[in-house]
Amino acid sequence: MNMMKKVWISVVFFCMTFSVAWGQDTTDLSLEGAIDKALENNYGIITTEKNQEISELNNSWGNAGALPTVRFVGSGSTSKNFNDNDNFTNNRMSGTVEMNWTIFRGYSVRIQKERLEELEKLSEGNLAVVVENTIYSVIMSYYNILLSQEQFDIARNNMELSRDRYKRAQHSKEIGSMVTYDLLQAKNAYLRDSSDYLSARSSYRNAVRELNYLMAEPLDKVYAFTSGFQPDTSDFEYSSLVDRMLENNRTLRNQYMNLELARLDVRSAKSAYYPTLSLNASGGYTDRETDYETMNQLDQSQTGADASIGLSVSYTLYEGNNRKRALKAAKIEKEISQVETREMKQDLKNQLAQEYELYRVRKQLLQVADENLKAAELNLQLSREKLENGTINSFNFRDVQQIYLDAAYNYQRAVFNVIQSYHTLMRLTGGIIAEYEGQEVVQGQ
């Protein structure tokens, strides 16, 4: 079997497989629908939500140490005594309720409660970051599918064009109007375009699998993607983007919470220098019985109850400078957190400036790619007519065909690049969730 027959069999088999796959029941899936599925089923979101629930449960006055501890201690015993006069049995039962309550320990309870509240907010902030990143990933994955779909259509149309050209070359060879060398050129072009077609289909299937993973759906599930492959080319005012980023960037807001936790750690270290005031209270009941076997007049029974309350004050005079070192370390950690916050602001400003410039350049490149594609389409149409009437040869037509193919791919990639830069700006400025929810985003006038 020669090479051409193998290629024909591969292409035909692939097309049959493709037809079967697309013959399956497909579900319409818009970008909003994909985001909804991911928000409901994404593994990362689910686990982060569980962690947030734990932080919410931990945020209580009891966990901060503000409430007393109460415990019950009960005991009972029986002993048998044997002697010459008379045997007797001793029974004893007692129960005590004890309460311990630290009334004051240098404001540490209040500080701990504030810390638990900040940890809960930080947990909510982490969830917001995961949600935001998931939405961004779904958006990029969805548009990557649309890009792969467009590239697949381009590759298929290009392959069909090369196939028609090869068939005409075969016919021309049969009637003697074409030499073998030209026929081989048409054949090689068709083989290459068939290979590009198969690669484009593989890329499309991998892109669908990636989206299914983000949505926690079966990896082989197929859809009819209904959202359009169109970029948002809105104009933004850079200063407004900076203000929105410093106010709403999710990662930066979490860093503000880490800074507040560092400040609370300093206050907590200072609280160790205060005395501790504790309240202790207890109450109990005791029952004792002595039971003789024969000398019942000696039987005894005693019951009683007791209660006590006490107040204690303690203060650590010296413990090897541990408190001093702990306070100094807490202050250093606070300074580190402040430096990290300034660094994060600077880094985010740098990212925003670069992405803003890239977004503007990519919009211009999109316009250039659009004009280039229109010219390439017209050139291909005219060249195809010239090839059919013999005005140009197959080499010239192949060059024109390749120019069109490159222009088509470049245009689709330019569309995707603008979409990517736009949503990256939205993520940096904390507006990607607001945009999904239909809220207003900051734009230039």
Contact indicator for 425, 358 with CB cutoff of 8 Å: no
List b or e across 320-343, with b for residues whose CB sees 16 or more CB atoms inside 10 angstroms: eeebeebbeebbebbeebeeebee
Contact indicator for 440, 434 with CB cutoff of 8 Å: yes
State the total domains in the chain.
1
Contact indicator for 262, 333 with CB cutoff of 8 Å: yes
The answer as to whether 50 is a domain residue is: yes
Task: State the CATH number of the domain containing residue 36.
Answer: 1.20.1600.10
Question: What helix, strand, coil percent values describe the chain, rounded to 5?
Answer: 65, 15, 20
The answer as to whether 97 is a domain residue is: no
The answer as to whether 73 is a domain residue is: no
In this prediction, residue 368 carries a pLDDT of 96
- The residues with which 74 forms a beta bridge, in sequence order, are 95
The answer as to whether 284 is a domain residue is: no
In this prediction, residue 23 carries a pLDDT of 46
Q: Walk along the chain (445 residues) and give the pLDDT tens digit of each residue.
A: 444 444 444 444 445 444 444 445 678 999 999 999 999 999 999 999 999 999 999 999 999 888 999 999 888 888 777 776 777 788 888 889 999 999 988 889 999 999 999 999 999 999 999 999 999 999 999 999 999 999 999 889 888 888 887 887 787 777 766 667 777 877 888 888 888 899 999 999 999 999 999 999 999 899 999 999 999 999 999 999 999 999 999 999 999 999 999 999 999 999 999 999 999 999 888 888 877 777 776 767 778 888 889 999 999 888 889 999 999 999 999 999 999 999 999 999 999 999 999 999 999 999 999 999 999 999 989 988 887 787 887 778 888 888 999 999 999 999 999 999 999 999 999 988 877 754 333 333 3
CA proximity to 251, closest of 125, 425, 420, 426:
125
Strands (E) in 183-229, as ranges, are 223-225
Query: What is the spatial distance between Cα 15 and Cα 128, in angstroms, rounded to a whole number?
Result: 44
In this prediction, residue 13 carries a pLDDT of 44
The answer as to whether 252 is a domain residue is: yes
Give the angle 410-415-419 at the CA atoms, nearest 5°.
140
Could you list the residue range(s) of the whole structural domain that residue 137 is in? 14-65+107-273+321-436
The answer as to whether 380 is a domain residue is: yes
Locus of tokens 């909804």: 36
The answer as to whether 359 is a domain residue is: yes
The answer as to whether 141 is a domain residue is: yes
Query: What is the spatial distance between Cα 123 and Cα 120, in angstroms, rounded to a whole number?
Result: 5
